[in-house]
Amino acid sequence: MLPSVCVAKAVAASSAPLNYLTSFGAKADATRPLTWGVTLISLAVIIIITLLVAGAIWRRPGLAPMAPGARIDVGPESGGLSWLWIGVGISSLVLLLSIVWTVSVLAEISRPGVKPALTIEVTGKQWWWQVRYLSDDPSRIFATANEIHIPTGQPVLFKLVGGDVIHSFWVPALAGKTDTIPGQTNETWLEAREPGIYRGQCTEYCGLEHAHMSLVVIAQSPSDFAAWEAHQIQSPAMPVGQAATGMSDFNMHCGSCHAVRGTAAAGILGPDLSHLMQRTTIAAGTLPNDPGHLAQWISDPQGIKPGALMQKPELSGQEFAAINAYLRTLQ
């Protein structure tokens, strides 16, 4: 079911899967020292200023609050400008150095080292991710959803398309975020150093189920990736028995929104389900992908993701069981 992945590599990220204080790919690797750098500089500034304020307050005994009408001594207006010169001077230096460091990291990550061999088109939709693997050879173009596989050790180009409202594509372990905006195609690139599962999430408020619009990037060795890709290009095997009945039920009730490669179901409003069982999660990362959760999702999508554009399908008990059986064959 799961591709052979070295899950241990993701352990460092697994306690906080969306953190970016650790990094697992070229772009995030280049950014991480800068992130730590500005964080540590900031902490140092806070500590220094706090010490200065505390020192200023407590270096001499304070005066008691005055009774109304009392007159208390007043110090002279002069003095203290050296504080400004030194403080602002040091601050300006640190800020200028930060700008230089920022620009140098920017130069490093704006373009990949080599021209990417693979291009993936991602379209942000309410509330899932449409994924299309592009190719010069039309027979090698295929669609999937919410789970993206990439080969390790090489940059992958992502074309980010706006589907309905603005979303933002973010896989923190690998790179910073880029929006998907209607009317334009943004580009970013990711490169994973080693195999692993890297979580992502939409990070531009996009409506009711913005909270449940996650994605997963699975990096595999080039040979494993090639095997996965070849499998994705194939249509799923023809079902038999109950699953065959399920397929025709599925085409009738679900095919207007969902597509399965090589069958009559060709809907584009919802995720492509051709190799659904290969995915680790469903409903854009909301539920683990196992028969129980899959059945739960189909029977009550609004209960799990209120506002999702998938309405509760009107199915008899028999149709429900058949469709579930069919979906379980979509390896």
Partner 1 sequence: MTATDYERAPTVAIEDRNSALAEKLQALWETEPGFIGWLSTVDHKEIGIRYIVTAFAFLIAGGIEALVFRLQLAWPDRHLLGPEQYDQLFSTHGMTMIFLYAGPVLSGFSNYLWPLLLGARDMALPRLNALSYWIYLCAGIFLYAAFAIGFGPNDGWFNYVPYAARAYNGGPNIDFYSLGMILLGISTTVGSINFIVTFLRMRAPGMSINRVPILAWGTLTASAANIFAIPAVSLAFFLLWMDRNAGTHFFDVPSGGQPLLWQHLFWMFGHPWVYAIVLPAMGMVSDGLPVFCRRPLVGYTAVALGTVATMILGFGVWVHHMFATGLPSVSLSFFSAASIIIAVPSAIGVFAWIATIWLGRPVFTTAFLFFASFIVLFVIGGVSGYMTGSLPVDWQLTDTYFVVAHLHYVLIGINVFPVVGATYFWFPKFTGRMLDERMGRWNFWTMFVGFNLGFFPMHISGLLGMPRRIYTYADGMGWDWLNLITTVGSFVFAVGVLIFIVNVVVSYRRGRVAGDNPWDAPTLEWATTSPPPPYNFVVIPTVASRHPLWEDRLGEKSESQPHAGLVLDHGREAVGTDPLDAEPDIILKMPSDTLAPLALAIATTFVFVGLLGHWWWMVAVAAIATGAAIVVWLWPRPELGETAEARNV
Positions 224 through 253 that interact with partner 1 (CB under 8 A)? none
Is the CB of residue 263 less than 8 Å from the CB of residue 251?
yes
Residues 178-197 that bind partner 1 (CB under 8 A): 178-179, 181-184, 186-187
Contact call for residue 20 and partner 1 (CB under 8 A) = yes
* Of the residues 7, 103, 238, 252, which one makes contact with partner 1 according to CB under 8 A: 103
As a whole number of angstroms, the distance between CA 250 and CA 323 comes to 6
Residue 163's nearest CA partner among 145, 189, 175, 148 is: 145
Contact call for residue 157 and partner 1 (CB under 8 A) = no
Contact call for residue 165 and partner 1 (CB under 8 A) = yes
Total residues interacting with partner 1, rule: CB under 8 A: 97
Cβ 79 to partner 1, closest distance in Å? 6
* Of the residues 9, 210, 253, 261, which one makes contact with partner 1 according to CB under 8 A: 210
Contact call for residue 216 and partner 1 (CB under 8 A) = no
Which region, judged by CB under 8 A, interacts with partner 1, from 31-39, 136-144, 242-250, 265-273? 31-39
Report the 10 Å Cβ neighbour count for 139: 7
DSSP state of 277: G
Cβ 104 to partner 1, closest distance in Å? 10
Beta bridge partners of 76: none
Judged by CB, which is closer to partner 1: 21, or 117? 21
Contact call for residue 8 and partner 1 (CB under 8 A) = no
Cα atoms in the Cβ-side hemisphere of radius 13 Å centred on 82: 1
As a whole number of angstroms, the distance between CA 154 and CA 226 comes to 13
As a whole number of angstroms, the distance between CA 125 and CA 206 comes to 9
Is the CB of residue 120 less than 8 Å from the CB of residue 134?
yes
* Of the residues 11, 83, 222, 318, which one makes contact with partner 1 according to CB under 8 A: 83
* Of the residues 152, 201, 232, 263, which one makes contact with partner 1 according to CB under 8 A: 201
Binding mask 266-305 for partner 1 (x = CB under 8 A): --------------------x-------------------
Contact call for residue 329 and partner 1 (CB under 8 A) = no
What 3-state DSSP class applies to 329? coil
Residues 114-153 that bind partner 1 (CB under 8 A): 126
DSSP state letters, 93-150: HHHHHHHHHHHHHHHHHHS-SS--SEEEEEEEETTEEEEEE--SSGGG-EEEESEEEE
Judged by CB, which is closer to partner 1: 111, or 140? 111
